[in-house]
Amino acid sequence: MTSPDGENMYFGGDYNPEQWPEDVWLEDVRLMREAKVNLATVGVFSWGRLEPAEGMHDFGWLDRVMDLLHDNDIQVNLATPTASPPPWFGLAHPDAMPVRADGTRLTHGSRDTYCVNVPAYRAASRRIATALAERYGAHPATVMWHVHNEYGTTCYCDHCAAAFRDWLRDRHKSLDALNDAWSTAFWSQHYSAWEQIMPPRVTQYRSNPAHLLDYRRFCSDALLAHYREQRDILRAHGPQPVTTNYVMAGWTPLDHWKWSAEVDLVGIDHYTDQPGDDGLAQVALASDLARSWARGKPWLLMEQGVAAMYTPERTLALEPGEHVRRSLDYVARGAAGVLHFQWRASQGGAEQWCQGMVPHAGPDSRVFREITELGRTLSSLAPAEPEAAEVAILWDDEAAWALQNPALPTAGLDFRASVEQAHRVLWQRGIATDFVHPSHDISRYRAVLMPSLYLISDEAVANLTAYVEGGGTLVVSYFSGIADPDTRVRLGGYPGALRDLLGVRVEELHPLTAPVTLSDGTIGTFWSETVHLTGATATATYPGGGPAITRHQAGAGTAWYISTRLDASGLGDVLAQAGV
Amino acid sequence: MTSPDGENMYFGGDYNPEQWPEDVWLEDVRLMREAKVNLATVGVFSWGRLEPAEGMHDFGWLDRVMDLLHDNDIQVNLATPTASPPPWFGLAHPDAMPVRADGTRLTHGSRDTYCVNVPAYRAASRRIATALAERYGAHPATVMWHVHNEYGTTCYCDHCAAAFRDWLRDRHKSLDALNDAWSTAFWSQHYSAWEQIMPPRVTQYRSNPAHLLDYRRFCSDALLAHYREQRDILRAHGPQPVTTNYVMAGWTPLDHWKWSAEVDLVGIDHYTDQPGDDGLAQVALASDLARSWARGKPWLLMEQGVAAMYTPERTLALEPGEHVRRSLDYVARGAAGVLHFQWRASQGGAEQWCQGMVPHAGPDSRVFREITELGRTLSSLAPAEPEAAEVAILWDDEAAWALQNPALPTAGLDFRASVEQAHRVLWQRGIATDFVHPSHDISRYRAVLMPSLYLISDEAVANLTAYVEGGGTLVVSYFSGIADPDTRVRLGGYPGALRDLLGVRVEELHPLTAPVTLSDGTIGTFWSETVHLTGATATATYPGGGPAITRHQAGAGTAWYISTRLDASGLGDVLAQAGV
Amino acid sequence: MTSPDGENMYFGGDYNPEQWPEDVWLEDVRLMREAKVNLATVGVFSWGRLEPAEGMHDFGWLDRVMDLLHDNDIQVNLATPTASPPPWFGLAHPDAMPVRADGTRLTHGSRDTYCVNVPAYRAASRRIATALAERYGAHPATVMWHVHNEYGTTCYCDHCAAAFRDWLRDRHKSLDALNDAWSTAFWSQHYSAWEQIMPPRVTQYRSNPAHLLDYRRFCSDALLAHYREQRDILRAHGPQPVTTNYVMAGWTPLDHWKWSAEVDLVGIDHYTDQPGDDGLAQVALASDLARSWARGKPWLLMEQGVAAMYTPERTLALEPGEHVRRSLDYVARGAAGVLHFQWRASQGGAEQWCQGMVPHAGPDSRVFREITELGRTLSSLAPAEPEAAEVAILWDDEAAWALQNPALPTAGLDFRASVEQAHRVLWQRGIATDFVHPSHDISRYRAVLMPSLYLISDEAVANLTAYVEGGGTLVVSYFSGIADPDTRVRLGGYPGALRDLLGVRVEELHPLTAPVTLSDGTIGTFWSETVHLTGATATATYPGGGPAITRHQAGAGTAWYISTRLDASGLGDVLAQAGV
C-alpha cells in the first residue's frame, strides 16, 4: 500500500454521493481539493443503487463518481456494500434476516440486516463483490478495497445452528471431547448427537459458559469467512490492498489477532467519547492496539467523528484545535492516515445528526475550516515511525469474552477496563506500549503486563514462563490465569496456570464491598484474595496480614502479582517498584 | 349540543351498571340525583354483554338502564364498546389481535386488543355501532355518542403493513417521491416496490426517522378512519353530537388538529399527577389545549380522577376542596362540564383500585360528599365564556413525533415539556393563552411562542413570517425550524426555516453538560448554539461572547430567538422584554 | 425418617460424581469420612447420564457410586433427575419446552427446560422415576428420595392452557361462577366458552388480577401433580421418605401449606445474602417457616451455600466460624440436618463459581476445615427439640400472590417483607415464633400477627374471630383483610373482612410520600388510612387527629390495628403494649 504521493498521509472520509444530486458532487470535489482530501471511501452503503433488483446492476452513477474523483486526484477506497442489503433482498430471502436469541426475526429498515451463515446472503455478497471487482479493479482511482462495514452482528438462526455444529466438529473433533470441554455433566447437558447442539438461544436459567464462549469464537470466525470470501474475489481482480474496519468498542465481536492476519492493512473506526486527556488516552489506546494487531503491516484510521464526541446521551464538540491534535496523535502512533465518517452531513436518514466534514451549515463553518487545516497539516507530513515499545500488555479477545460470562464471583469484572487502566498508567508515564497475544514472542520487551486475563492456554503459560526465566518482568493482576481455553477452572489453588511462575497459591477469592488500605498505604478496591506465599515475597499486605502484592524471582526474571484492584496511582507505584 | 337544561354544566361520569346486580342500580340513580349527576357515560366496556356471541345481541339490560336513567332525568352519553372486544372475538379472529414491533402477537385478557386495520375488526365495529344506533338513536336519554375509548393503540401486523402502503401511496404518490422524502439513499434503503415497505418493526440498528414519523402519522389516520366509520353510522340514526375522548398524555398518539375537525365536540380524559399549583397548571394546560383544538366548538372533560391523582408509583388523594376547585378551573376555561371515571368503584378487575364517585366505602364518605358538593355547585353555574387569549403557543403533534426520533443531537429534547414550560410561565403571569397550529391564522394574537418546534412546513414559515411582518411578536426557542415535513434537515445553517425571520444563522448545536451564565445573569442549561447575527441584535450572550438570545425587527413586528434552555424565571424575563 | 445412626443430625450435600473421573470418587469418600458426612444427595442433574437416549438406561456408574458410598457408611438421598431433561428430550419433544408469556419458546442448554403440563414430559418423568425406584428402592444406601429440584417454573403454552381450563372447571364449576369470581364484566372480558380462557399471556394493557391469581394457584397445583406422580411411584418401591426442596425466595411459586401436606419431610434450599445479624435473622425465618410448614413432620436444610453468601452482585464469604454458627441455628430451630450445594466445586458449567465443601483449592483450605469442624460438631449433637412458640405469624402464599398484582394503590406492597419485619422484631426480642395458615387452629398461641394479609377467606375470618373472642391477641397491620379469595374488594369500608373484629371502619387508603409522626412519637411511613372508630380505642393518632393505631376488646381477647408502616422499633412498641 502506498499513500497517494508515496509518502504522505491518507486524508479523507466516507463519501456517499448517492445521497446528493450530481451538482453537489462538483462542489464536493472542489471542497475536497481545498481541504487536501486525497482518499474517499465510496460505496459503503450503496448496494441498493448498485443492484436495484436482484442480479441487475447499475454502475453508471458510480462510473461518474470514480472518474470525477480520479480527475481531481482523489483516490478511492472502494467498498463492497454488503453491510446493508437493500429491501428487495430481505423480501426475496426472509430466512436471511437475522434472528435474536429469543427467536425474534429482524426486518430490513436499518442496516446490518443479514446473517452471514445464510447461503443466499453469501451468494448475493459474492455477486456484488465480483461485479465491483470486475468493473473497478482496474480503475485508476481504486487504491484500496474496503470489504463490508464494521463486522460484528450476531444471529441465532437455524443456518447459524448448522454452521456452528460444523465449526464445533472442527474444533472438538468428537462429541466426547465437546462434552468434556463444555463440562456438560453439570445440569445434564450431555450431547449425544451433533444435531442437539443449538446456538445459545434463550433458555430457562443460566447458560453454559463454555457454550457461550465457543459461540463468540464461532461468530468471529463466521464473519471472517464472509470477509475472506470477498477478499479473495477482490484480490483476483487487482493488486490493491483489501481491508475492513474494526469497531473499536468494548463489545469486541472479533478475534482481532486472527482477523489481522487476514487483512492487508488494519483499519479501525474509532469514536472517542471523552474530552481532554481522557480522549487523548482513548486515541493512544486505539492506536496502540491497531498498530500491534497489524504486526508490521500498515494501519489506518478509517473512521473517526468530525470534531465531535458521541456519548450515549449527547453529541459534544471538541475544543478548537483539539481535532487536529488528536488526528496527529493517531499519526504519531503509526496511522497511515486519518479518515472520517462522513464527508458531508446527511440531510435525512438515521445518522442525519452525525457530524460531517462539510456540516449542515456548509463550508463556511469552523468545522470545515478545521478539516482544511488538518488536511494541509497532514499534506506536509511524512508517515511517522513510532517509537519502539519496550513494554507490552497482553491482549486476548477470547479471554475478554470468557470474562463476559454472567456468572462469575462478582459482577464488574472487565478485561477491557483493566487493559485501559494499565495502558493509561503507562501512557501517563510516557512509556511506549505494544499489545501482544499471550502466545506471541515477547522476548524483546523488558516488561509485560497481564491485566485480569482470566483464560489462558498451556502454550501461553509456557511462553510467559520462558519469558520471565529469560530475564523478563511480568506484572499479573487479579483473576488472571484462572481458566483453561474451555473456561474450566484450573484446580488446586488459583491462579492455576501461574502458581509456579508467581510463587503464590490463592485459596479464596473475595470480592470487596468496601476499600481496604494495604500495608504500604495503597488502596485496594473491588476484589481481594487469600494469597499464600510459595516462593514469592509480599511487598504489600492486607489489613489481616495476608499478602496482597507479591514479587517472585523466577530464573533471571521477576513475576509480580497484584491480588486486588489498585487505582492508577497504586498501579503506577507497583510498576515503578517493578522497574517498568 | 345542549347541556341538560340548556344552560347548566354537564356533570357525571362513566357508569358501568353491568358490573353490579340490578338492585344496586336503584341506589345508583338515587345517589346520582342526590349528587345532581345529569350525564352518565354508558356502555364503554359493554361489548361482551351487548353481543355475547358474534352477531347475537342482548339489549334487554341496557334498555332497562336507559329507561331508568331517563326516568330519573339523567341523560346518557352512549358509548360504542369497540375499545374492548370480548374474548370470543379474539378466538374467532386471531389475526385481529395486535402485534408488537418485535412480532409478538398479543392476546385478549385486558382491553384494547384489536388492530384497526383488520377488516374483521372493522366489520365487527360497524355491526355493534349500527345495532346501538338503531336501538338507541331515538331513545330520549341519548344526548351524545361516545365512540370507542381513548384511541391510541399501535400495531405492526401485516394488515397494518398493507394499509400503511396505501397510506404512503396517497401521501407520496410515487416510490421515487417516497425514496426522496425518506432519504433512503442512506444505508441502502431504496424501495423498488411498494411491497418492500414494512411498518417500523424491530431491526438491527437505528430506524429511519422519516419512516418512523410517517408511521406515527399513519397510525393517527388509521385510528381516525375507524372513528369516522362509526361516527357516520351514528349520525345517520340521530341528531346527537358524536365524539370520543382523547388521552391527555405526553405520548400523543393522535394528530389533534386533524381529529378535532372530525368530532362534534372535543372530549378529553385528563388525569393529573401533581398536587397543588403543579396540578392546577396541568388543568390549565389541558383545558387550553382542548379549547384550542375545538376551534369554537364545545369541549368536555370526559374523564378525570375522583379526588385522586394517579402517579406511576401510587395513588394520592387531593386535599379537601381541591377536587371542586380543579373542576371549576376546567369550567372557567370553557369546559361544557366535568365527568369522571367512574361512578362506582369496581370490586374486581384491573381497575378495582381506581377511585369511584361512590368509593368502596360507600356514599358515607368524604369522597361522595365532595362529589355532591361539586354537583350542587355546578348545577347553579352557567357555562363560562373564557377570556379571549391574546397570546398563543404553537402546537403540532407531527413536530412532537419528529422530536421523539431517538437519534438527535441529544437525549432529553421534548416538545411537550417545552410547551408545558412556556404555558406555565404565561399562566403564572395571568396571561390567557391559546394553542394554534403553525399554519393557522394567528393574526389576532399580539404574541406567539414557538417552543422547540423541530419540524415545520414552508407554508407555516410563510404564515409566521406574514404574522411578524404584520406587527406580531414571535418568540422562538432552540431547535425550532430545523427540519422539513419529511424530517430532513434544512441546510445552510440552522434554523433553516427561520434564518431570515430571526436574523440569525446558527452554525453549530452544542448540548451542554453544565449550566452557563449568560451576560444578563440568566442561566442556560441543556443546550447552546453558535449563533451568528445576520440582522438581529443580541440581548444576551454566552460567556464566550456569542449571541444567546436575539431580537430581530422584521417588518412591523419582532422575532426573538432563545438558543438555550432557560428556567421559568429566565423565560419570563425574555417574555417581559418582548412585551408579552 | 431416621438419621443415620438414629439420633444424630444429617450432614452432607449434593454430590455429583458424574462430573469427575472415578479416581476422584475415592478421594471424595475419604474426605467425606474425614468431614463426617453421612448423607449425600445424588443424581439431581444426572438424567443425561442415566438415560443417554430415550428409554435406554445406563446405571452402571450409579451402581458403583451407591456401593462406594454405602461401603463408606454414607447414606444417599437419591434424586429423580427430572429438573434437567437432557438435550435429546428437547429435540424429540419440542412442544415440551417452556413458553414465556410473550410466546417465546425456550431451548435446552440450561436447566428446567420443560413444562409439567406436557404429556410427553410427564411420561418421561414417570419412566426415569420408575427405573430409579426399581433399581435403588431396595439399595441399602437409599434412605431418602429427592424428587426433582427446586420446583418453580412457569409456562404459558397451549398444554398449560388446556390444563388451566380443567383446573378452572374444577375450582369454579361453571363459567358463570368464573365470570363472577373474575369480575369479567369489567373491560368486556366475559367468557362464553371455556376455550376462550388463556394463560395470562402478554396483552395490551393491565391484566385481570383474579386471572393472574388463579394462574399462580394453578401453577403451584400443576407442579404438585408432577411431584405426586413421582412420589407415588417411589413409595411403591420402598419405605423411604420422599420429599423435594423448596426454594426459599421472595418469589414463592408454591402454596407451601398444600405442598407440605404431600411431602414426607419438608426440605428447603436456603441461601442467605446478608452478613452478621441480618443473615442470622434470615436463618431464623427460613427455619421457622420450614418447621411450621412441616406441622410436626421433620424438616431438613437440603441446600445452603458453603460458607458463602450469593448476592445479586457478588459472592461474599462468611466470617470464620460463621458458617458453623448459622448451621447450628438451623438445627436449634429443628432441622434434621444440614446439607449443602455442593460437595465439590465444579470445574466448568454454569455454577462453576458456586462454592463447594471441597473448594477449587482442594481440601487444604479454610473452607474444608470449617466443613470438617461442622461435621464433627454435628456428629456429637442429638436433634434439637425447639422451644414451643407462643406467638404466631399468619402466612399464606395466596395472599402473597394477590399482593403481587401490579395495580394496587401503591407500588411497594410486599407480604414477604411485612412478614420478615414482624418475624425479626419477635426474633430480636427472643420470642419463639411459628407460622400458621389463617384457617388453621391457632388457639394455643397467646398472640397472632397478621402482617398485610391482603386476601382472606370467610372461613379464616371466622377462625380469627373465634380466636380473639376466646382470649387471644391479634395484631393486624395495614391493607389486611381487604379482598376475598377471588381478589374482589370487600365493600362498605376497609378492611371489609375485619371491621367488626377490629372495631374500625377505614374510609380511605393514603399511600404516603413522606413520613408522619404519630401522637406517641412513633414514625409512620409509606402508607396511612382514614380510620373511623366503631368500637376500638385509638392508641396513637395521625397529625390531623385521626386514629392510626387502635385496640379493640372483642370477647375475651384484643384485636389491634396498625394502619401505617412502622419501623422495627415502632412495631416492637406496639407489640409490647399488646403484651406480645
The predicted pLDDT at position B339 comes to 98
Q: Which of residues 394-433 of C touch B (CB under 8 A)?
A: 407-412
Retrieve residue A126's grid coordinates. Answer: 459474492
CB contact under 8 A, A109 and B201: yes
8 Å CB contact of C109 and A191:
no
- CB of B487 less than 8 A from some CB of C: no
Residue of B nearest to A366 (CA): B507
For residue B38, pLDDT beyond 70: yes
How large is the ipTM? Answer: 0.96
3-state class (DSSP) for residue C166:
helix
Average pLDDT of chain B?
Answer: 96
Assign residue B500 a region (left: φ > 0; alpha: ψ between -120 and 50; beta: otherwise).
Answer: alpha
Q: Nearest CA to B436 among B296, B573, B559?
A: B296
Cell numbers representing residue B296 in the block: 369554537
Mean of per-residue pLDDT scores for chain A: 96
> Is the Cβ pair B204, A112 closer than 8 Å?
yes
Q: Does B18 touch chain C (CB under 8 A)?
A: yes
Q: With CB atoms and an 8 Å threshold, state whether C204 touches B346.
A: no
| Spatial CB neighbours of C209, under 8 Å, sequence gap ≥ 6 | B348, B349, B350, B352, C402, C405, C407, C487
Q: A307-316, B59-68, B484-493: lowest mean pLDDT where? A: A307-316
Q: Which of C109, C539, C344 is nearest to C564 (CA)?
A: C539
Beta carbons of B360 and C492 less than 8 Å apart:
yes
Strand partners, B541: B547
CB contact under 8 Å between A112 and B202, yes or no, is no
Over residues A37-55, mean pLDDT: 97
Is residue B383 scored above 90 in pLDDT? Answer: no
Determine the distance in angstroms separating the CA of B202 from the nearest CA of chain A, rounded to an integer. Answer: 6
End-to-end Cα distance, chain A: 36
Of the listed ranges B187-196, B308-317, C180-189, C193-202, the one predicted with least confidence:
B308-317
Question: How far apart are the CA of C545 and the nearest CA of chain A, in angstroms?
Answer: 45
pTM metric for this prediction: 0.97
Instruction: For residues C432 and A129, give the distance between their C-alpha atoms in angstroms, rounded to a whole number.
Output: 78
Domains within chain A, CATH numbers bracketed: 1-11+265-383 (no CATH), 391-577 (3.40.50.880)
Residue C539: CA atoms inside 13 Å, Cβ hemisphere, count? 19
- As a whole number of angstroms, the distance between CA A53 and CA B175 comes to 15
pLDDT on residue A250:
75
How far apart CA A469 and CA A449 sit, in angstroms, is 16
Q: Which chain B residue's Cα is nearest to C508?
A: B361
Q: Please return the burial class of C466, using the count of CB atoms within 10 Å of its CB with bins 0-12, 13-18 and 19+.
A: middle
Mean pLDDT of C428-433: 97
Tell which residue, B234, B222, B348, B326, has the closest CA to residue B280: B326
Predicted confidence at residue C281, as pLDDT, reads 97
B240 has a chain C CB within 8 A of its CB: no
C345-393 tens-digit pLDDT: 999 999 999 999 999 999 999 999 999 999 999 999 988 888 899 999 9
Give the phi and the psi of residue B480 in degrees, each rounded to 5.
Answer: -95, 155
Per-residue pLDDT tens digits for C519-554: 999 999 999 999 999 999 999 999 999 999 999 999
Pairing of strands C557-562, C299-304: unpaired
A249 — pLDDT class (breaks 50, 70, 90): confident
* pLDDT on residue C5: 60
What amino acid occupies position A157? C
List chain A residues with CB under 8 Å of C49: 185, 188, 190
Q: Is A303 noted as a catalytic residue in this protein? A: yes
Question: Is 60 exceeded by the pLDDT of residue B2?
Answer: no
Q: What pLDDT does B3 receive?
A: 62
Residues 6+ apart with CB under 8 A from C564: C478, C512, C516, C518, C524, C525, C526, C527, C528, C529, C542, C548, C549
What CA–CA distance (Å, rounded) separates B453 from B479?
Answer: 7
pLDDT digits (tens, 9 = 90+) for A342-397: 999 999 999 999 999 999 999 999 999 999 999 999 999 988 888 899 999 999 99
Catalytic positions of C are 150, 303
Mean pLDDT throughout A487-504? 98
CB A403 within 8 A of CB A413: yes
Alpha helices (H) in A99-208, listed in sequence order: 119-136, 158-172, 175-181
* CA–CA separation, A50 and A57 (whole Å): 5
A370 flagged as catalytic: no
Cβ-defined contact of B192 to A351 (cutoff 8 Å): no
Choice among B242-256, C155-169, C564-578 with the minimum mean pLDDT = B242-256
Torsion of CA B566, B568, B574, B577, to 10 degrees: -160
Grid cell locating C253? 411459586
For residue B252, the model assigns a pLDDT of 83
Q: Beta-carbon neighbour count of residue A345 at 10 Å?
A: 22
C409 contact residues in B (CB cutoff 8 A): 314-315, 353
Surface of A (142-171) touching B: CB under 8 A: 153
Burial class (CB in 10 A: 0-12, 13-18, 19+), A199: buried
Chains adjacent to B (≥3 CB pairs closer than 8 angstroms): A, C
Q: How close C198 gets to chain A, by Cα (Å)?
A: 22
C-alpha distances in angstroms, A381 versus A40, A144, A369, C463? 19, 21, 19, 92
CA B299/CA B286 separation, integer angstroms: 11
**A528 touches C: beta carbon within 8 Å:** no
Contact C87 A208 (CB under 8 A): no
Task: Please tell me which of the candidates B81, B109, B350 has its beta carbon nearest to residue C407.
Answer: B350
pLDDT of residue B12: 98
Confidence band, pLDDT 50/70/90 cuts, at residue C6: low
Residues A521-540 pLDDT 10s = 999 999 999 999 999 999 99
**B513 close to A (CB below 8 A):** yes
When pLDDT is cut at 50, 70 and 90, the band that residue B382 belongs to is: confident
Decide if pLDDT at C1 tops 60.
Answer: no
Residues of B in contact with A113 (CB under 8 A): 203-204
Q: Give pLDDT, residue A2.
A: 54
**How far B526 CA sits from the closest chain A CA (Å)?**
10
| Segment (H or E) for B283 | helix B276-294
- How many C-beta atoms lie closer than 10 Å to residue B444's C-beta? 12
Q: Residue C436: what pLDDT?
A: 98
Average confidence (pLDDT) over B155-181: 98
For A430-468, the three-class secondary structure string (H helix, E strand, C coil) is CCCEEEECCCCCCCCCCEEEECCCCECCHHHHHHHHHHH
Span A423-463, pLDDT tens digits: 999 999 999 999 999 999 999 999 999 999 999 999 999 99
Name the active-site residue from A22, A27, A54, A303. Answer: A303
Tens of pLDDT, residues B66-76? 999 999 999 99
Phi, psi of B166 (to 5 degrees): -60, -45
Q: What is the pLDDT of residue B6?
A: 64
The DSSP 8-state label assigned to residue A479 in this structure reads: S
Query: Closest to B188 (Cβ–Cβ): which among A45, A317, A367?
Result: A45
> In sequence order, what DSSP letters do the residues of C407-432 get, joined into one string?
-SSBTT--HHHHHHHHHHHHHHTT--
Question: Residue C214 is placed in which grid cell?
Answer: 388463579
Assess whether pLDDT exceeds 60 at residue A1: no
Asked if C192 lies within 8 A of B53 by C-beta distance, the reply is: yes
Query: Which has the closest alpha carbon to A249: A420, A471, A451?
Result: A420
